[in-house]
Amino acid sequence: MKVELSNLPNIDCDKFKVPSVDRFSLTQEVERPVKILLLYGSLRTRSYSRLVIEESARLLQAMGAETKIFDPSGLPQPDTEDETHEKVRELRELMMWSEGQVWCSPERHGSITGIMKSQIDWIPLSLGGVRPTQGKTLAVMQVCGGSQSFNVVNQMRILGRWMRMLTIPNQSSVAKAFLEFEEDGRMKPSPYYNRIVDVLEELVKFTLLTRNNKAYLVDRYSERVESADEVSRRVNQKQI
């Protein structure tokens, strides 16, 4: 039973839109590879989260994706520098460039590392009133020093939702990561490796499915009602 807008006095009729399949783009950009940014959460010389990310980049390239890995070395703690810092500019430019992302962090004290959280915290909530990450796809992974855990991937799912990203259903958690890599840094064959392949394959599929429709998928009534200036002022408060 359809409800008439006249029965919804709080609605701005000029800004209200009925979702429709006709608004979706059904054509795909066959020639252009998906653009995937990969982030890792450790600065150790033998960082297992970095090794997972490097292996993931190889797999994504084999799937036809274009990849870029951000090196967090030299990235300042949030609020200790401003957005003109070269590493902050590099990270934000990569965020804007990407269509999808992979985040991989070790688990430290039951949580993501400070290195991982700092990267996410440097992502601005708004550029012109719109989150620069909204509508982008996200895959989450973690490496564990002991038995398998899902604390980190669960926390990164919350962060991805906060950043208005489309986090795919699949995820990866590598237990006892120190046993899963050769001396040269390449990952050994295992069910953990196969799960990473599954996750990345799913990420590419979701990115292909959504990238032409991102603007429509994240088009929101509340933001249509507010002007861009009003949204920008609300989400970029100087003092919290």
**Helix, strand, coil abundance in the chain, percent, nearest 5:** 40, 15, 45
Phi/psi at 17 (5° precision): -130, 135
Give the Cα-Cα-Cα angle 116, 211, 93 (nearest 5 degrees): 45
Please give the pLDDT value at position 34. Answer: 93
Strands 172-174 and 35-40, how do they pair? unpaired
> What is the pairing mode between strands 172-174 and 166-167?
unpaired
The two three-digit tokens of residue 77, written as one number: 């703690």
Rounded to whole angstroms, how far apart are CA atoms 25 and 114?
39
pLDDT, averaged across the chain? 86
Over residues 71-120, the pLDDT tens digits come to 999 999 998 998 889 999 999 999 999 999 999 999 889 889 999 999 99
Superfamily classification of domain 32-73+81-215: Flavodoxin domain (3.40.50.360)
CB 42 within 8 A of CB 48: yes
pLDDT of 240 strictly over 60: no
Residue-level pLDDT at 237 = 58
How many CA atoms, within 13 angstroms, populate the side-chain half-sphere of residue 65?
29
State the pLDDT at residue 239: 47
For 64-70, what is the mean pLDDT?
95
pLDDT, tens only, 148-197: 888 899 999 999 998 889 999 999 999 999 988 999 999 999 999 999 99
Helix (H, G, I), strand (E, B), or coil: what is residue 154?
A: helix
The domains of the chain are located at 32-73+81-215
Q: What is the 3-state secondary structure (H, E, C) of 187-203?
A: ECCCHHHHHHHHHHHHH
Beta strands in the chain (DSSP E): 35-40, 66-69, 100-106, 137-143, 166-167, 172-174
For 117-132, how does the pLDDT look when each residue is reduced to its tens digit (9 = 90+)?
Answer: 999 999 877 665 557 8
Burial of 188 (0-12, 13-18, 19+ CB in 10 A): exposed
Q: The whole model's pTM is what?
A: 0.85
